[in-house]
Amino acid sequence: MRIGILGTGTVGQIIGAKLVSLGHDVVLGTRDVAKLMEHKETRMGQTQSFAEWHKQNSQVKLGTFAQSASHGEILFNCTAGAGSLEALRMAGEANLKGKILIDIANPLDFSRGMPPSLTVSNTDSLGEQIQRAFPAVKVVKTLNTVNANVMVNPRQVADGDHHIFVCGNDAAAKAQVTDILKNWFGWRHVLDLGDIKAARAIEMYLPLWVGLFMAQGTPLFNIKIVS
């Protein structure tokens, strides 16, 4: 399938590499490809520059946000939450229209130190902001509650016996994303929390995720709902 991934950070890289390994045709979208390839510094949480990563993952194509969105039959929002709306505007409404957007972004703000705060929360969420700004897009929020390595390989944690959440306004889009989570990435337990308003709940879980990460010293964990 033709996939557009907006964002070239760790999440975009790991999802992109996973999707090409499954045989998909992936274009990673960024603001300025030349600048991205020139950028020599490693970003937070990364061990190599983008260019170094791309040398080892050359099957992942590169393009602008607009080229990536135009290419994809399904889109992933892997931008940093604070830049998501701008990236989507640069992608262009015509390139997004009618498509499923799997929104993984978190509106985290580390500028005030730890614990991070959220740039939007409580009575609104990034997922809702995106859905309001692009009403013709089928936004499905998911995967934002786990580390990128767990997103695409959930079986490495407790043999996959833990939960991921989906929410969104379009039932058919949620069903298709649930299939993707299960059949492409290997998720065993996908829990539907309702319409896009539920993005508030799963984005507001992030401060706890960060607390658990700090308490445990590894990002390779998740929560399992037990009853």
Residues binding its own copies (CB under 8 A): 112, 115, 117-118, 121-123, 157-158, 161-162, 165, 191-194, 197-198, 200-202, 204-205, 207-208, 210-212, 214-216, 218, 220-227
Q: How far is the CB of 155 from its own copies (least distance, A)?
A: 12
CA nearest 115: which of 44, 204, 178? 204
- Other C-beta atoms closer than 10 Å to the C-beta of 86 total 12
| CB of 1 or CB of 114, closer to its own copies | 114
Which residue do the tokens 């614990």 mark?
Answer: 115
Q: How far is the CB of 50 from its own copies (least distance, A)?
A: 29
| CB of 58 or CB of 111, closer to its own copies | 111
What is the rounded CA–CA span in Å between residue 169 and residue 74?
Answer: 16
Q: How far is the CB of 105 from its own copies (least distance, A)?
A: 17
| CB of 136 or CB of 220, closer to its own copies | 220
What is the rounded CA–CA span in Å between residue 151 and residue 155?
Answer: 10
| CB of 40 or CB of 112, closer to its own copies | 112
CA nearest 189: which of 216, 218, 227, 219? 227
| CB of 92 or CB of 207, closer to its own copies | 207
| CB of 59 or CB of 149, closer to its own copies | 149
Q: How far is the CB of 194 from its own copies (least distance, A)?
A: 7
Strand 163-168 and strand 138-142: the pairing is antiparallel
CA-CA-CA-CA torsion for 177, 180, 182, 183, nearest 10 degrees? Answer: 160
What is the rounded CA–CA span in Å between residue 18 and residue 11?
Answer: 11
Which residue do the tokens 């994809």 mark?
Answer: 72
**3-state secondary structure (DSSP) of residue 142:** strand
**Amino acid occupying residue 44:** M
Q: How far is the CB of 77 from its own copies (least distance, A)?
A: 20
Q: How far is the CB of 216 from its own copies (least distance, A)?
A: 7
